[in-house]
Amino acid sequence: MQVWKFGGTSVGKPERMHAIRDLVTANTGRKIVVLSALSGTTNALIAISELAKANSATETEQKIADLKTHYDSFIKELYSTPESLQKGQQIVENEFSYIRSLVKVKAFTSKQDKEMVAQGEILSTQLFQVYMEEKGESSVLIPALDFMRIDTDGEPELNTIEALLTATLAAHTDKQIVVTQGFICRNPRGEVDNLKRGGSDYTASLIGGAIRAEEIQIWTDIDGMHNNDPRIVKRTFPIRELSFEEAAELAYFGAKILHPSTITPAKMRGVPVRLKNTMEPDAYGTLIANQTTDREIKAIAAKDGLTAIYIHSTRMLNAFGFLKKVFDVFEKYKTPVDMITTSEVSVAVTIDNDTHLEAITADLREFADLEEHDHDLSIICVVGEFKADNEGIALKVFDAMKHIPIRMISYGASEHNLSILVWTKDKNTALNALNERLFYYEDAMKSIFSAQ
Ligand code: ASP
Ligand code: MG
């Protein structure tokens, strides 16, 4: 079985939903189809919750009415029979009366927030299922709330998901297409919860891992993961193949196409993940699997909004336990560290969440000297297959960076990542310079020499 996930823009227009049906029924083989909410809906639902919390009754009602109008016209184009339209209208009426009942709750807590934001996926999947039925397709909708589970830390419980999902699927072996919601789940209290923004990719990977699918396909409106950020760099191309490790690095470092946690369950169970483009379904896309055969340097990605903290300790020179004390502080404030570099007497770290910066630096000052921290930094991450005996990778990277001030360098922790911290104002120049040097220079040189 395969798992195919379609994001918000892929379901966001009636004709896009029609295209999904064409795609999932084009070849035989059972599929689980995971859908996001229609684009814009999740944001609208969050806005409705915020307005409800602010007790802005008129604005809340206006926002709900606007969203409902969108759905009223959406279903008119989605369906072609009066029976389906009527079913669609019933779904929309039910959902919106539920949304209205939620905002009336006096003490609006995170429980209502989560129920509210879940309605986007609940709507999109029901509407799609009715469309599949209208077209006579062999399709069934299974509620994600019946099998997606997270623990008290918000982490998915893969074994429970596997058991519940296997049982649910066993009841529908006669159906070719099994539709379900991305993003939403239940927590240990049995309440509606979610896998955080953009979590539908994660759902697909969890399902794929749980049922040991043949393949997980993430369908978006771009042709796979690119070797660099196309908004900043002129010449980019889709990467054909990536290892799980490389994809995880890229997802984390800002390649927006994938939710960073997505890879984990697929990788754990060795299920390949393919990124596909709904606009160009025949294009190869990007295949993420255990092994890759592609080039040594695969991609460049960047992450903005970093703060660097510089920690010195002359007293602690050569002392063991210093790093532990440093990291205990970050743990205390639940602040992840992105990048670390050390010298004999100093440690520099970067964080992207500076909510607790003041408290963190105050705690660090109890046992170390701190230099003034820096804001507005970006990590640039070169991702690839850097075998331990590689030669010349660092040379190529730094050759490209020769005119750009560098704040930190990190290499060697994994065979897949070389990270450089730069001022955000220099990021675009750095990405372009690296792109030319790492992906085009060698070929250009080869053609010059072969022409002679
Ligand atoms: N609808 C959710 C969001 O917008 C989940 C997703 O689309 O992946 O974050
Ligand atoms: Mg997404």
Task: Report the nearest atom of ligand 1 relative to the CA of 203.
Answer: 8
Name which residue sits closest to atom 5 of ligand 1, judged by CA.
198
213 and 323, same structural domain?
A: no
Residues 215 and 303 both lie in one domain: no
**What pLDDT was estimated at residue 1?**
96
Please report the pLDDT score of residue 157 as a whole number: 95
Is residue 21 domain-shared with residue 170, that is, in the same domain?
Answer: yes
Q: Residue 254: what pLDDT?
A: 61
Q: What is the mean pLDDT of residues 67-73?
A: 98
Q: Are 56 and 154 in the same domain?
A: yes
What confidence tier does 114 reach under pLDDT thresholds 50, 70, 90?
very high
- Is residue 256 situated within a structural domain? no
User: What's the gap between Cα 65 and its chain centre?
Assistant: 30
CATH code: domain of residue 168: 3.40.1160.10
pLDDT tens digit string along 315-348?
A: 765 677 888 999 999 999 999 999 999 987 899 9
Does residue 37 share a domain with residue 154?
A: yes
17 and 166 in a common domain: yes
User: According to the model, what pLDDT value does residue 407 have?
Assistant: 96
The crossing angle, in degrees rounded to 10, of helices 57-78 and 110-134 is 20
Distance between CA atoms of 300 and 433, rounded to whole angstroms? Answer: 11
The contacts of residue 5 (CB under 8 Å, 6+ apart) are 33, 34, 35, 36, 182, 200, 201, 203, 204, 216, 217, 218, 219
Domain holding 417: CATH number?
3.30.2130.10
Q: Which atom of ligand 1 is nearest to the CA of 183?
A: 5
Task: Give 107's pLDDT tier (boundaries 50, 70, 90).
Answer: confident
Q: Per-residue pLDDT tens for 368-410?
A: 999 999 999 999 999 998 887 778 889 999 999 999 999 999 9
**Domain end: 183, 204, 220, which one?**
220
120 CA closest ligand 1 atom index: 1
Nearest atom of ligand 1 to the alpha carbon of 43 = 4
Q: What is the pLDDT of residue 431?
A: 96
Q: Among the atoms of ligand 1, which is closest to the Cα of residue 199?
A: 8
Joined together, the tokens standing for residue 300 give: 């460049």
Residue 422 has pLDDT above 90, yes or no: yes
Ligand 2 centroid to residue 223 C-alpha, Å:
14
Q: How far is the CA of 420 from the centre of ligand 2 (A)?
A: 27
Centre of ligand 2 to C-alpha 97, Å, is 27
Q: Is residue 274 part of a domain?
A: no
In whole angstroms, what is the distance from residue 271 CA to residue 273 CA? 7
CA of residue 188 to ligand 2 center, whole Å: 25
Q: What is the mean pLDDT of residues 6-18?
A: 95
Q: Using the mean position of ligand 1's atoms as its centre, give its distance from the Cα of residue 25 in Å.
A: 24
**Torsions phi, psi of 347, nearest 5?**
-135, 135
Instruction: Count the domains in the chain.
Output: 2
Query: Looking at residues 171-197, what average pLDDT do you find?
Result: 97
β-bridge partners, 24: none
Write down the pLDDT at residue 294. Answer: 58
Quick check: is 268 in a domain?
Answer: no
Residue 447, domain member (yes or no): yes
Residue 414 binned pLDDT confidence (cut-offs 50, 70, 90) = confident
Return the ligand number nearest the Cα of 34: 1
Q: Within this chain, do residues 338 and 189 fall inside the same structural domain, yes or no?
A: no
Are both 87 and 177 inside the same structural domain? yes
Cα separation, 434 vs 398, in Å, equals 9
**86-95, 225-234, 255-264, 270-279: range with lowest mean pLDDT:** 255-264
Give me the domain span that covers residue 381: 299-451
With cut-offs at 50, 70 and 90, classify the pLDDT of residue 247: confident
pLDDT (average), residues 245-251: 84
Whether residue 271 is contained in a domain is answered as no
**pLDDT tens-digit series, residues 283-313:** 999 999 987 665 789 999 999 999 999 999 8
Last residue within a domain, chosen from 175, 192, 220: 220
> Is residue 72 located within the same domain as residue 167?
yes
Q: Does any domain span residue 418? A: yes
Same-domain check for residues 409 and 303: yes
Q: Which of 9, 16, 42, 180 to mutate to test the pocket of ligand 1 (most atoms within 8 A of CB)?
A: 42
Measure the CA–CA gap between 415 and 421, rounded to whole angstroms. Answer: 18
Q: What is the mean pLDDT of the chain?
A: 92
Mean pLDDT confidence for 6-35: 95
- Same domain flag for 193 and 308: no
Residues whose beta carbon lies within 6 Å of some atom of ligand 1: 7-8, 36-37, 42, 120, 182-183, 197-200
Ligand 1 geometric centre to CA of 117 (Å): 9
Is it the case that residue 253 has pLDDT exceeding 80? no
- Say if 411 falls within a structural domain: yes
Locate the ligand 1 atom nearest the alpha carbon of residue 37 and give its number: 1
User: What tokens were used for 353?
Assistant: 């969440």
Q: Looking at 194, 220, 246, which one is the last position of a domain?
A: 220
Our mutation pick for probing the ligand 1 site, out of 10, 34, 124, 200, counting the most ligand atoms within 8 A of Cβ, is 200
| Judgement on whether residues 325 and 204 belong to the same structural domain of the protein | no
The answer to whether residue 221 scores a pLDDT higher than 70 is yes
In the prediction, which pLDDT does 245 show?
86
Decide if 281 is inside a domain: no
* Nearest alpha carbon, ligand 1 atom 6: 198
Residue 141 bridge partners (DSSP): 179
The pLDDT value given to residue 3: 98
What is the average per-residue pLDDT within 164-188? 97
